[in-house]
Structure 1
């Protein structure tokens, strides 16, 4: 029997499910590596109350990769009413993940048990078994800690790094994460926030080392829109430059970039208040970094926002996989 090609996708936030949903329908072995540095919203509250790995990004990936009755995923994603005091705005799935973490002693085992319960096709690996703290130094040389604080600062970031919860504690990757990267046929970064969803995984030292030595084809899915402060005026090549810099060498082989125009009057910038302008393409600057730019119409206009078309991205990834 021919082994399924192994694809590892790295990120967090709401971007990954867009391409995970079409990918899991294909005959591939998919592994999602998910950030554990989130400290906002329901995830942040649970992290502070009971000191667990923030569950929000993990919950979204579990739902995206599951094959269960839709009523189960609907319950997982349900948020309590704002009038419900302690439970206000908590997602039910976050509470379930928190309970499973206590039952099994760590987030990694908790997610594996939940993955079986939800009939997940593939693997979901928190990048670390412990909650991590994201730090950023901005271009003005000020420093902030905490994913929510960094996002809301709306300042241009120079670089980021992660630490453990305790002062001086070195971040440790889950061994399965490193093994998945080393055995992969393809590594996919994003889509998602560069500095707060993708890079918090990449800068875990064991992860960046594995990314430098893996023989897998490495693909970056460039964002469609820039983020306020964080990546204002960034081209696809500048996103790539930051990614390679945090990995420690030029490892990315392909950059998938959208060249379809986002209409000025379509996006609701109040609803999607973190985004700024459409990302511009710079093929020459991409190729200088040793990567091949794949430009095309990968745009999906919906819900007053600009998103990746998951099916088109999936087809492009399969095409790259077949060429390598």
Structure 2
């Protein structure tokens, strides 16, 4: 019987947000794969948060960065799209031009989803960019002490142990729903990739949308989690890699993570500039037995890229492993506990 993956491009769906997502997508862009990026719409910080406050649209920052990562236009277009006005420009201070364009087109087209599809054509995006929902969502968290907060920036700034998160529409009247192309892409995927990115504020907000988490669990694709290299202040301090996976599984009430990519190269002591990278806390500790107890296949190697006194994923190495997984026999033998 002919292997369908040998006759067509593998379909890879990457789910997340924040700064980690574009690193993976940028390295996937030039590979012979069909890429779909599902991007969180629950951001409320920076330029995105200000635009969301004054214009009732989905925060555009994560979508802007993903679009640049997948765009195949001259660099001057990308640079212009990413340009952020200086703080001395009182009216536009801190705003990225791309954020303003996405917000404007969202108003013109009556929603973020159609706006992003149209802009993707203009930017010659190699792949698909799907906002996880077509409306701005609000992230909520319950902490271990029973208290609750709403808003991504408020939740992170609380520096408290998070028990669970969920999302609501901004008006709190309706249950958030994913647009159908998001569900279709997940169900038709050959591989689903989560991360890298903030566990509670970039990855889980997508999975908490009605239909998205269910589709990820039901999809025949293997689910791969790219574990963070560093823990994050206010979210995952003192977490092991197994703790990250445990939180994901608990939120979806099932051990749905099949494979975990774990960095094993040590971050040099005194290398991290914790003032510049104030969200980084400490290297994620390893608990390989804890991962295996949750039914995970563990791929551990050097995924580390040291630059600018920060610790990040080496996108080339990560993508190399993702593509290796697609070619392995076990890849199509999805295992659930």
1:227 pairs with 2:232: yes
Higher alpha-carbon deviation: 91-100 or 240-249: 240-249
Looking at structure 2, the residues matched to 259 and 142 of structure 1 have their Cα atoms a distance apart, in angstroms, of 36
Residues 129-144 of structure 1: pairs in structure 2 closer than 5 A: 129-144=134-149
2-structure distance, mates of 1:98, 1:239: 33
Instruction: Give 2:253's aligned residue.
Output: 248
Partner of 1:86, secondary structure, is: coil
| Partners of 2:72 and 2:124 within 8 A in 1 | yes
- 1:310 corresponds to which residue? 315
Does 2:97 match 1:92? yes
Deviation, 1:301, is 0.2
- Give the C-alpha shift of residue 139 in structure 1: 1.2
Distance in structure 2 (CA, Å) of the matches to 1:303 and 1:17: 17
- Residue 246 of structure 1 and its aligned partner are, at CA, apart by 1.5
Distance 2:285 2:24 in 1: 22
For 2:335, the equivalent position in structure 1 comes to none
Q: Unaligned regions of 5+ residues in structure 2, if any?
A: 1-5, 332-337
Misfit runs of 4+, over 3 Å: none
1:155-304 correspondence runs (5 A): 155-304=160-309
The answer to whether the 8 Å contact 2:155/2:234 transfers is no
Structure 1 CA distance for aligned equivalents of residues 76 and 142 of structure 2: 43
Q: Whole-Å Cα distance in 1 between the matches of residues 120 and 252 of structure 2?
A: 29
Q: Partner of 1:136: helix, strand, or coil?
A: strand
C-alpha separation between the residues in 2 aligned to 1:248 and 1:2? 36
Alpha carbons 2:169, 2:175 under 8 Å: kept: yes
Aligned to 1:153: 158
Aligned equivalent of 1:126, options 96, 119, 131: 131
Conserved 8 A contact 1:7-1:31: yes
- The number of aligned residues is 324
Q: Is the 8 A contact 1:212 1:248 kept in 2?
A: no
The reply on whether 1:319 has 2:324 as its aligned counterpart is: yes
Rounded Cα–Cα distance in structure 2 between residues aligned with 1:248 and 1:215:
18
Cα deviation digits, residues 15-69 of structure 1 (max 9, x gap): 1111111111111001000000001111011111110000000000000000110
Shift of residue 153, structure 1, vs aligned partner: 1.3
Aligned residue among 5, 11, 14 for 1:6: 11
Q: Deviations over 1:266-303 (max 9, x none)?
A: 11001011111100111111011111111111000001
What is the TM-score of this pair, normalised by structure 2? 0.95
Aligned match of 2:71: 66
TM-score by length of 1: 0.98
SS at match of 1:167: coil
Aligned pairs (5 A) from 1:46-65: 46-65=51-70
Say which SS state the counterpart of residue 327 (structure 2) adopts: helix
